Amino acid sequence: MKISIIGAGNVGALAAMRIAEQNLGEVMLIDILKGVAQGKAFDLDDCRAILGCHYTIQGSSLIEDIKGSDIVVITAGLARKPGMTREDLISKNAEIVGSVCRAIKEYAASAIVVVVTNPLDVMTYLTLQVTGFERRKVFGMGLTLDASRFSNLIAGDFGVAVTDIQPCVIGSHGETMMPLSRFTKVKGKILDTLGPVERINALVERTKKRGQEIVSLLGSGSAFFAPSAAIAEIVRVIAQDQKRVLGVSALLDGEYGVEGVCIGVPCQLGRQGIDKINILGLSSPEKEAFLKSAESIRELTKLLTHY
């Protein structure tokens, strides 16, 4: 497979490294800043003998070098700064992503597109509109990352391994995300049954604020280790046609009572993209919260005045 990553910043470069080291396909790293992607690709190339791993990676400043890609990952865009919400990013990142999507439509019309740029749900919707691709071929990375964060916080609080946890998060990749403790299992047991509601709710709230917490601590830029791992996980599931269920931002067409909004839901992924959107049996309060999350995304999407 040819896997192109557009944006060679911290997230894009680390994702390229993880994908290359797993030998998931030929990696093409693209960045508009001349020399940046090429330099990082050379550096990653120089790791091969040390790692004892033979992979192929190239760097370029030319967007047309994505030609023939099977998967395109969009990480290009501005990262959040302290005090900046995902919503603040819409105008500038819409301009960047819109330009990238026109190139994808021209040079990689058969590709599956994974969107990482924030605000993620809005940029996923924008990508679908500009490319005109089927909804199964375009989705956002967000909830794969959020579920990992939820698992990590649960593991720390309960003193268990993250591998013993099956997390469930739906909704926006933002402040209205919904970590669902009722659908989350720890060593096969429902999270709700393992502690008082105050303890569980604290974990849910920490998960919602985890991204902003990291931004505040870093002082400049945002998370990149975990986002790059989430990207590599999604790429692996697609490249190996694993038919696994991951949380991604998908365009809904009546599922969960929502139409015309990209929002995080559990989806079975494979070589063709989204094979199936899984429908959870939500309670009335959960349905209400999900619709509220969807509506918040719809309102932000209205800010896309042009693309």
Active-site residues: which are they? 173
Distance CA 26, CA 304 (A): 34
Amino acid, single-letter form, for residue 211: G
Query: What whole-number distance in Å separates Cα of residue 285 and Cα of residue 183?
Result: 14
Q: Which residue in this structure is represented by tokens 């604020």?
A: 209
Find out whether the peptide bond into 119 is cis, omega within 30 degrees of 0: yes
* Pair type for strands 189-190 and 185-186: antiparallel
Burial 116-147 (b: 16+ CB within 10 A, else e): bbbbbbbbbbbbbbbbebebbbbbbbbbbbbb
DSSP per-residue string spanning 210-248? HHHHHHHHHSSS---HHHHHHHHHHHHHHHTT--EEEEE
Q: What gap in Å lies between CA 70 and CA 216, rounded to an integer?
A: 36
Q: Residue 91 and residue 244: Cα distance in Å, rounded?
A: 34
Q: Which residue has the tokens 């991951």?
A: 246
Separation CA 302–CA 181 (nearest Å): 31
